[in-house]
Amino acid sequence: MTPGIVLDLVLVAVMVVWGVSGWRRGALAAVLGVAGVIGGGWFGLWIGPKLLELLPELAGQRGFRLIALTAMFLAGVGIGSKLAAILHNKVGSDEPARGIDAALGAVANVFVVVIASWFFIVAVRPFATPTVQSAIDGSRIHATIDSFIPEQFSELATRTVQDLVAHLPVVFGGVDPVLPTEESDAGIVNDPQVLGVAASVVEVATRSPACVSDSTGSGWVVSPGRVVTNAHVVAGSRSLTVARATGGGALSATVVALDPDLDVAVLAVDGLDAPALPRAPQPLAAGADAVAAGFPWGGPYHLSPGRIRGTLVEQSTDIYGGEGVAREIYAVRGTVRPGNSGGPLVDTDGHVIGTVFAMSLSDPETGYALTDAATATLLDQAPSLTWEVDTGDCPAG
């Protein structure tokens, strides 16, 4: 039995229990329960990260963080439900629900489970262990619910995750020049060459007990057994793993190169049976289509269509907040979010043109990628890099 099936069975069981409870108690109690569960659950997820800041060493462990956030969510749900029950006792009836009232109560309670479970899963997935992430990604019920969730709810969940995970680096001091360009062609993500890059894109997960939290990001295979990602993804880590977008389980990795100025790292991964992605022979001009491949928010593999706004030279800080170096970068009109860090930016032929590393703080439709030219010296050396290097200090922020 797969982890996804186990999660589906748990969700069905919870829906049945809550549906029966709603049938017995009626619509008023169920409506109050909706408010109590959603409000209490949101409060638990909101206050959880703030309390974890009091225990920085434990908070950096992915398993502990997941357990703590789960406990705070359930505590919030319990408190909200209790307050709703107290209010119902004051204004409701003690008589058992019947007919339409009972049916509405059952429907309302199942609705609570659907929304609360979806919201909770989306919010905690970035901190989940690989097994739990596998269960989430394999859950047909969660995938079905996610496909019907209105955009407003997705935005609320996204804002919650933004409060729970680390942000991408800041470029241009947070005051970004926005170069105008047309919206990208969403259909390019279905091009066979673009779909094919999935075999060589990985999710990078670290255990970083010395840092505020563990980190997740993306990476791509530059040569056999070698993966490129961002330095800020792996900096300060004690151990790390990579998992291919196409499945196959997590593999241990070691850092064999780390450049905090460029924000690039190379990982050695024994047993990684994945082809290297070809690098584009020429840079892309403004207006050209491009696709960012990776794992935004630590979630499932995703292809985000984009269009090159232009090529810029950015002088900013290194990953520790110190004086950095000038870097050539692409400004891309598209969606880049935490978790995309280190993933490839590819052209419509599936060739890598850059490595995603930052998002705009002033324009939600702009992301940034280091050009291949900016990182070429290190990437060309990747096949010969064999010695493990120190991951250094935790990145700023």
Q: Where are the beta strands (DSSP E) in 199-295?
A: 201-207, 216-223, 226-229, 239-244, 250-259, 264-268, 289-294
Any idea which residue has 């996804």 for tokens? 4
Contacts of 266 (CB under 8 A, 6+ apart): 222, 226, 227, 228, 255, 256, 257, 258, 378, 379, 381, 382, 385
Any idea which residue has 């090159």 for tokens? 308
Measured distance CA(382)–CA(397) in Å, rounded: 28
Contact 45, 72 (CB under 8 A): yes
Which residue among the candidates 142, 232, 302, 351 is catalytic per the annotation?
232
Which residue among the candidates 8, 101, 191, 263 is catalytic per the annotation?
263
Annotated active-site residue 88? The verdict is: no
Helix (H, G, I), strand (E, B) or coil at 218: strand
Q: In Å, how far are 24, 181, 189, 397 from 286, measured between CA atoms?
A: 62, 8, 19, 31
Helix (H, G, I), strand (E, B) or coil at 65: helix
Which residue among the candidates 117, 223, 341, 360 is catalytic per the annotation?
341
- The strand pairing partners of 254, in sequence order, are 268
- The strand pairing partners of 203, in sequence order, are 218, 243
Annotated active-site residue 200? The verdict is: no
Measured distance CA(268)–CA(244) in Å, rounded: 14
Measured distance CA(12)–CA(10) in Å, rounded: 5
Any idea which residue has 């990953």 for tokens? 319
Measured distance CA(306)–CA(287) in Å, rounded: 10
Annotated active-site residue 167? The verdict is: no
Helix (H, G, I), strand (E, B) or coil at 369: strand
Measured distance CA(171)–CA(169) in Å, rounded: 6
Residues with a catalytic annotation lie at: 232, 263, 341
